Amino acid sequence: MAEQTSQGTPEGKGTKKRLILTIIIGLAILLGGYFGYKYITEGRFMVETDDAYVQGDVALISSRVQGYVQDIPFDDNQAVKAGDVIVRIDDGDYRIALDTAQSRFETADATLARIDAQIDAARAAIRQAEADRTSAEAQATTARTNAERTRNLAANNVATQAQLDTANEGEATAAANLARAEAAVTSANAQVAVIQGQRAESEGQRRQLELAVDQAQRDLDMTVLRAPMDGTLANSATEVGDLVTAGTRLAAVVPANGLYIEANFKETQMPGVVVGATVHITFDAIPDHEFEGHVVSIAPATGAVFSLLPAENATGNFTKVVQRVPVRISIPDDAQAMDQLRAGLSAVVSVDSRTAPDPS
């Protein structure tokens, strides 16, 4: 009875309160010491921001040609491999265009073959004209000799005037035949030059037709749109039967790997952020795990510089705003292997400034 009375006294209650208060103060001191130690040894070296998001080099699939959508083999959120067909566009018109271009190209080859035959014939004509010129030269030489001999005989009254006239006529005829033969050689050479010019022109046209075939084939190939990488098809914006034009956005492919973090640090934090530094990462989607990445690169300008409407600070109502610099951080393979990360998810990153590489 006496013990119960003593515990119920105000003095007993005060002792109990002091004990509880002492324990609380002791715990506070221990916790304060622990967190103080952590800050001194580690925390003061950490540069942290929660303005960080998972990013990926998303490939936007757009049409390069106009046509009606014929087939969409995959649905949204399906995994695709590099080279898988994502969209097929009706290719009937493009096949006809390719056939037309190929037929014109084949005609150009036939034209070149015909011109080559004409060149061969013209060169044969040159050889014939040169042979005729050689014969005419021989005849002219003989006619000159005969005429000279007849003139000498006529001077000595041995040859008659008729014989002299005949000899002079033969010499003149032979000279005319030689001039005609030389003109024929010149004409044959000129004919070859003309035909060779036509061939060069036809070769240029053939090259144009060849390029037209290549362009038609390229247009035909572009009716089949393929995945540029392994990933997941997303944001499909078309249906079978839709008419699409060049530049129409049809879908997107989010890469299966190669995700990274885009963290926006305040400009006052940048002295502690260096390429190569270790980064501690936690994702809101994976709250119970911490991962380790590295600073890959730092943007050459703040995010405001690349915004659609950059701030105009040369005004009278200027208000200073702390700017942020985008920093790219790698995501380790073990985090990506968990298959829980998606582009756009939030993250909290802490850069350990002690791990910055030595500049030297």
- Which tens digit of pLDDT belongs to each residue from 205-227? 889 999 999 999 999 999 999 99
What is the reported pLDDT for 360? Answer: 55
In this prediction, residue 13 has a pLDDT band, given cuts at 50, 70 and 90, of low
pLDDT of residue 312: 72
**Of 137-141, 248-252, 278-282, 328-332, minimum mean pLDDT range:** 137-141
Per the model's pLDDT, the better-predicted residue between 92 and 135 turns out to be 92
| Burial of 253 from C-beta contacts in 10 A (0-12 / 13-18 / 19+) | buried
Q: In the chain, what are the domain boundaries?
A: 59-91+235-254, 93-221
Question: What pLDDT sits at residue 8?
Answer: 55
- Is 93-221 assigned to CATH 3.40.50.2300? no
Give the pLDDT confidence score for residue 72 in this predicted structure: 92
User: Would the pTM of this model clear 0.85, i.e. be above it?
Assistant: no
Percent of the chain scoring above 70 in pLDDT: 91
- What band does 18 get if pLDDT is binned at 50, 70 and 90? confident
Predicted confidence at residue 116, as pLDDT, reads 87
CA distance 327 to 154: 115
Rounded to an integer, the average pLDDT of 42-50 is 77
Does 188 score more than 50 pLDDT?
A: yes
State the CB neighbour count (10 A cutoff) for residue 194. Answer: 13
pLDDT in tens, 51-98: 999 998 889 999 999 999 999 999 988 999 999 999 999 999 999 999
Average per-residue pLDDT for the chain = 84
Quickly state the pLDDT bin for 3 (edges 50, 70, 90): very low
What's the rounded Cα separation, in Å, for the pair 202 and 200?
A: 5
For residue 358, name the pLDDT band (cuts at 50, 70, 90).
low
pLDDT digits (tens, 9 = 90+) for 288-313: 889 999 999 999 998 888 777 777 77
Residue 326 has pLDDT above 90, yes or no: yes
